[in-house]
Amino acid sequence: MGKALNLKDKKYGKLTVLYKIENKWELTQWKCQCNCPKKTIIDVTTKDLRSGRIKDCGCNKKEKKRKIKSKFNIFNNWR
């Protein structure tokens, strides 16, 4: 068998890995803290972290949505 993977203290996007957790489905997951202002803590699988599929707690999506909404409100005010 290969060496056990240790991602503790590594950074993936805005997420910092805190510690490893095991679940009942035998998937390796990691407790991660986002560096957004709320410092949200989420559980992420090894695969999602290493592939870059999950890079934050969802805060980036909310910020993009807010910027788009703000942009369209500016255009709507011109009418």
What digits encode the pLDDT tens for the residues 25-45? 778 899 999 999 999 999 999
In-domain check, residue 4: no
What pLDDT is attached to residue 72? 66
Q: Residues of the chain with pLDDT > 70: what percent?
A: 82
In-domain check, residue 6: no
Whole domain around residue 57: which residue ranges? 11-77
In-domain check, residue 1: no
Q: What's the pLDDT band for 10 if we cut at 50, 70, 90?
A: very high
Written as six digits, the tokens of 77 are 């005010």
Mean pLDDT of the chain: 83
In-domain check, residue 17: yes
In-domain check, residue 68: yes
What pLDDT is attached to residue 60? 77
Provide CB contacts within 8 A for 16, sequence distance 6+.
9, 10, 32, 33, 35
